[in-house]
C-alpha cells in the first residue's frame, strides 16, 4: 500500500533501513521510523494547528509508543499525547509526552482511576455518569479538579463495531450540569470517534454524522450559556483535514498516522506529510517457490481493505538491486509466524536477506519491535534504540541478552 509511496517520496529511508538491517543494527520483525521525517511532519502539523487555533495531541499507538519518536514529536512542538487506553498513556508519558487526553477510545478501569489521575491528564473522557464519578473521586484524592469530556452519541452516528457508547447527545446540557456537580471534576467539552472517515470512492476524507452531532451539541451548550466548550474531533487527522475540523468548530485534534504520512488519504494523494514508517524483516528459509519471511508484526490495518501486499527483497544491503515480489500474508486465523514471498522468478535469494514492507501499521496489537532511525536526511543513519511494541525496552537482543542469573 505504502511501499510505492516510500520508494517515490522517501527512498533514502528505504536505503538506510536496508543497510542497517544488513549490518545488524535493525532486527527482523521491526517497524523502523524515520525520525527526521517525523520531526518535519510534526512541525508542519503543529504550525497549521496553531494557525487554526487547534490543540494537537499525538496518537502514538500505531508506532508502538516508540520513545525516540515520542521525544521527536515533543521537540517538534506537540508536547502532549492522547492515550488510546491507560497503558498507552503511561508509555507515551515514559517516552516524554505529557497526557493531553485519556479515556477515549478506551475507558479507564475503576481500580486504575488513581493511576490515570496521577498522570495529571489535561482532559479525561467519560462515557457515563459512573465513569465520571470514578474520575472525579480519583482526581479529588490527589487535590486535582479534572476537566471531563463527555463522549456523546446521536441517532445517526457511526462507530466501528465494539467502539459504541456514550451519553445521549440530546441530553448534553443536563449531562454538562451533572458533571459540574462532582467534587474533583468539571464538564469541559464533548467528543466522538470517528469525526472524519476516508471515502474510498471519492478518494477524500469526509465528515461523519458524528461531527454534525458534535456541532449540534455545542450549539445547545452555547444556547444554555456555556461559552468555552472543548470540541475534540479525532479521526484520519492530517494537515489536509485540519481546516475542515476548524471550520466545524473543533478545538482539539489528534494526529496519529499523520505523523508518519500513512493516513488512507496519503495512500492515494501526495499530502504535505511524507512517509516515515516501514516494516523490516528477513528471509528465514526457502520452500518451493517461496521465501518464508519472519513475521510477528504483519498486521495490516484493514481501513483500506487487505488488498495485495508486495515487498522488497534486498541482498547485502544493496537497495539498487532489490527485487519487488508478491507476498502472501498470514491468514487472520493463523498465528503470525511467517509471510510467504513469491520468488519463483527471482534468483539468488538466501536466508538472512532483508525484506522491507510498506503498509499502514498498528504496531501495538503485534509482537513487533520498533526502532527510530536518526540522520536519514543527513546521510548518516543511526539507530538510537530498539523497543517492544508497548514502548518498553525489549527482553534483549543478541548474545548478551540472556544473563547467567536469568537461566539459573
Q: What is the pLDDT of residues 140-191, one digit of tens each?
A: 999 999 999 999 999 999 999 999 999 999 999 999 999 999 999 999 999 9
Strands (E), 177-297: 185-191, 196-199, 204-207, 230-232, 252-253, 277-287, 290-294
Asked if pLDDT for residue 349 goes beyond 70, the answer is yes
What's the average model confidence in pLDDT over 286-309? 89
* Residue 303 binned pLDDT confidence (cut-offs 50, 70, 90): confident
Pair 22, 316: CB distance under 8 Å = yes
* pLDDT at residue 305, as a whole number: 66
Asked if domains 3-29+273-390 and 36-260 share a fold, the reply is no
**Architecture of the domain whose range is 3-29+273-390:** Beta Barrel (2.40)
The cell 503485534 sits on which residue? 366
Q: Is 57 left (phi over 0), alpha (psi -120 to 50) or beta?
A: beta
pTM higher than 0.75 for the full model?
A: yes
* pLDDT at residue 332, as a whole number: 82
Domain residue ranges of the chain, discontinuous segments joined by +:
3-29+273-390, 36-260
Q: How far apart are CA 349 and CA 313, in angstroms?
A: 8
CA distances 375 to 18, 96, 102, 232, 317, Å, are: 15, 20, 33, 35, 18
Q: Is 76 helix (H, G, I), strand (E, B) or coil?
A: coil
* Residue 397 binned pLDDT confidence (cut-offs 50, 70, 90): low
CATH 1.10.540.10 corresponds to the domain 36-260: no
**CA angle at residue 111 from 145 to 88, to 5 degrees?**
75
Pair 371, 387: CB distance under 8 Å = yes
Q: What is the pLDDT of residues 187-241, one digit of tens each?
A: 999 999 999 999 999 999 999 999 999 999 999 999 999 999 999 999 999 999 9
Asked if pLDDT for residue 398 goes beyond 60, the answer is no
More confident residue, 307 or 290: 290
* DSSP class per residue in 338-396: EEEEE-TT-----TT-EEEE---B-GGGS--EEEEEB-TTTT--B---EEETTSSPPS-
| CA gyration radius, the chain | 22
Q: How far apart are CA 136 and CA 153, in angstroms?
A: 22
Asked if pLDDT for residue 335 goes beyond 80, the answer is yes
* pLDDT at residue 395, as a whole number: 74
Amino acid at each position: 500500500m505504502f511501499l510505492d509511496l516510500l520508494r517515490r517520496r522517501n527512498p533514502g529511508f528505504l536505503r538506510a533501513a536496508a543497510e542497517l538491517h544488513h549490518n545488524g543494527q535493525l532486527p527482523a520483525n521491526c517497524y523502523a521510523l524515520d525520525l527526521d521525517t517525523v520531526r518535519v511532519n510534526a512541525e508542519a502539523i503543529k504550525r497549521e494547528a496553531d494557525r487554526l487555533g487547534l490543540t494537537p495531541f499525538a496518537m502514538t499507538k500505531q508506532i508502538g509508543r516508540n520513545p525516540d519518536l515520542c521525544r521527536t514529536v515533543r521537540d517538534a512542538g506537540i508536547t502532549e499525547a492522547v492515550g488510546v487506553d491507560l497503558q498507552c498513556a503511561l508509555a507515551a508519558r515514559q517516552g516524554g509526552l505529557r497526557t493531553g487526553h485519556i479515556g477515549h477510545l478506551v475507558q479507564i478501569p475503576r481500580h486504575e482511576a488513581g493511576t490515570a489521575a496521577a498522570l495529571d491528564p489535561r482532559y479525561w473522557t467519560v462515557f457515563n455518569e459512573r465513569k465520571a464519578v470514578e474520575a472525579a473521586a480519583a482526581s479529588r484524592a490527589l487535590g486535582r479538579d479534572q476537566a471531563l469530556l463527555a463522549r456523546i452519541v446521536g441517532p445517526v452516528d457511526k462507530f466501528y463495531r465494539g467502539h459504541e457508547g456514550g451519553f445521549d447527545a440530546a441530553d448534553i446540557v443536563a449531562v454538562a450540569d451533572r458533571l459540574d456537580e462532582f467534587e474533583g471534576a468539571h464538564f469541559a467539552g464533548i467528543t466522538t470517534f470517528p469525526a472524519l472517515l476516508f471515502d474510498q470512492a471519492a478518494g477524500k476524507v469526509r465528515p461523519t454524522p458524528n461531527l454534525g452531532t458534535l456541532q449540534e451539541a455545542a450549539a445547545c451548550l452555547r444556547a444554555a450559556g456555556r461559552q468555552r466548550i472543548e470540541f475534540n474531533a479525532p479521526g484520519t487527522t492530517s494537515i489536509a483535514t485540519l481546516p475542515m475540523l476548524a471550520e466545524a468548530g473543533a478545538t482539539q485534534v489528534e494526529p496519529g498516522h499523520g505523523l508518519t504520512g500513512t493516513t488512507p488519504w496519503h495512500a492515494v494523494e501526495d499530502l504535505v506529510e511524507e512517509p516515515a514508517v516501514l516494516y523490516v524483516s528477513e528471509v528465514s528459509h526457502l520452500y518451493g517457490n517461496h521465501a518464508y519471511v519472519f513475521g510477528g508484526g504483519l498486521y495490516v490495518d484493514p481501513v483500506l481493505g487487505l488488498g495485495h501486499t508486495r515487498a522488497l527483497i534486498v541482498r547485502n544491503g544493496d537497495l539498487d538491486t532489490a527485487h519487488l515480489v508478491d507476498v502472501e500474508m498470514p491468514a487472520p486465523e493463523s498465528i503470525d509466524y511467517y509471510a510467504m514471498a513469491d520468488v519463483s522468478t527471482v534468483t539468488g535469494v538466501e536466508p538472512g536477506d532483508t525484506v522491507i514492507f510498506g503498509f499502514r501499521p498498528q504496531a501495538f496489537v503485534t509482537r513487533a519491535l520498533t526502532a527510530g532511525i536518526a540522520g536519514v536526511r543527513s546521510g548518516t543513519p543511526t539507530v538510537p534504540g530498539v523497543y517492544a511494541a508497548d514502548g518498553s525496552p525489549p527482553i534483549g537482543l543478541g548474545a548478551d541478552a540472556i544473563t547467567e542469573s536469568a537461566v539459573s
